[in-house]
């Protein structure tokens, strides 16, 4: 059972990498000011133009290259990232198989966790938080959690309103540091976890983002006015809370 879950996670990771390459091609991309992400993206080989996405098992390519040091050094950084995503998904699905087995809880956590990882991956590569992912997810979270006996309408609305208000206010006070996608993502996290649980996910994300920003400044790879992708840190906080204290459980 656990092996089957792990293999499913590996395939899901490959699918996420494929989707992260393909979905942004259909999104409108407004011009961005120069940022630390722009230079990082160029080093990773993610140019502004898009090529046809290819479905592959990056982790298998990486493992095959371990026997050849020269081939390992020639691997591109996007492939390293894709292999890391697949390995992470393998671990997450394996954990779900051990803890929940074949159940609705496993399906919910696998789908929601995959969504957060996909959002983080696209923002890291393209500096985009896609409406096609966030808006349906937010609507579903509002409907499901407001009808849930364990959550209810008021905590769901308060959580979503808190996430929206805090990040919208931050975007107004510090223009250019947060985008509309970050605000929508924070709202979705608030709706999903409700109040006060959403505070933990958002606080972890803000703390992780602050640590990363401080490191980049100290390493002289950015300055206090540089723009960096924030969705990966919000998704990190959401993922940790999702697996430690799931917002929805089935009996």
175 or 43, which is more confident?
175
- pLDDT tier at 222, thresholds 50, 70, 90: low
- Distance, CA of 161 to CA of 190 (rounded, Å): 7
Q: What is the mean pLDDT of residues 233-249?
A: 93
The mean-pLDDT minimum among 46-55, 60-69, 110-119, 227-236 falls in: 46-55
Give residue-wise pLDDT tens across range 20-37.
Answer: 988 887 665 554 444 444
Which whole number is the average pLDDT over 61-87?
Answer: 75
Q: Is the peptide bond before 92 cis (omega within 30 degrees of 0)?
A: no
Q: Could you tell me the CA-to-CA distances from 55 to 22, 23, 82, 229 in Å, in that order?
A: 10, 13, 11, 25
Beta carbons within 10 angstroms of residue 28's beta carbon: 6
Q: Given phi > 0 = left and psi -120 to 50 = alpha, else beta, which region is 76?
A: beta
- Radius of gyration in angstroms for the set of CA atoms belonging to the chain, rounded to a whole number: 19
How far from 122 is each of 23, 67, 95, 130, CA to CA, in Å?
9, 31, 24, 8
User: Would you kindly state where each structural domain of the chain is located, as residue ranges?
Assistant: 2-244
CA dihedral 14, 18, 20, 26 (to 10 degrees): -160
Neighbours of 143 (CB within 10 A): 12
């Amino acid at each position: 059972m656990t092996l089957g879950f792990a293999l499913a996670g590996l395939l899901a990771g490959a699918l996420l990498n494929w989707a992260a390459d393909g979905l942004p091609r259909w999104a409108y991309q407004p011009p961005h000011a120069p940022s630390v992400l722009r230079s990082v993206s160029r080093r990773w080989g993610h140019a502004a133009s898009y090529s046809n996405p290819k479905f592959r098992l990056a982790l298998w390519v990486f493992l095959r290259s371990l026997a050849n040091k020269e081939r390992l050094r020639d691997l591109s950084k996007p492939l390293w990232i894709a292999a890391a995503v697949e390995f992470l998904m393998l671990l997450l699905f394996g954990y779900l198989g051990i803890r929940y087995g074949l159940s609705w809880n496993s399906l919910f956590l696998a789908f929601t966790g995959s969504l957060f990882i996909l959002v983080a991956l696209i923002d890291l590569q393209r500096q985009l938080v896609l409406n096609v992912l966030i808006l349906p997810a937010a609507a579903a979270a509002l409907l499901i959690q407001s009808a849930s006996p364990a959550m209810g309408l008021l905590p769901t609305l308060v959580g979503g309103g808190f996430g929206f208000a805090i990040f919208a206010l931050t975007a107004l006070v510090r223009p250019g540091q947060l985008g509309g996608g970050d605000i929508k993502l924070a709202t979705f996290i608030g709706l999903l976890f409700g109040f006060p649980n959403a505070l933990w996910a958002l606080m972890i994300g803000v703390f992780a983002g602050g640590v990363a920003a401080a490191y980049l400044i100290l390493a002289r790879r950015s300055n206090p006015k540089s723009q960096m992708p924030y969705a990966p840190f919000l998704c990190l906080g959401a993922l940790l809370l999702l697996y430690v204290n799931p917002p929805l459980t089935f009996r």
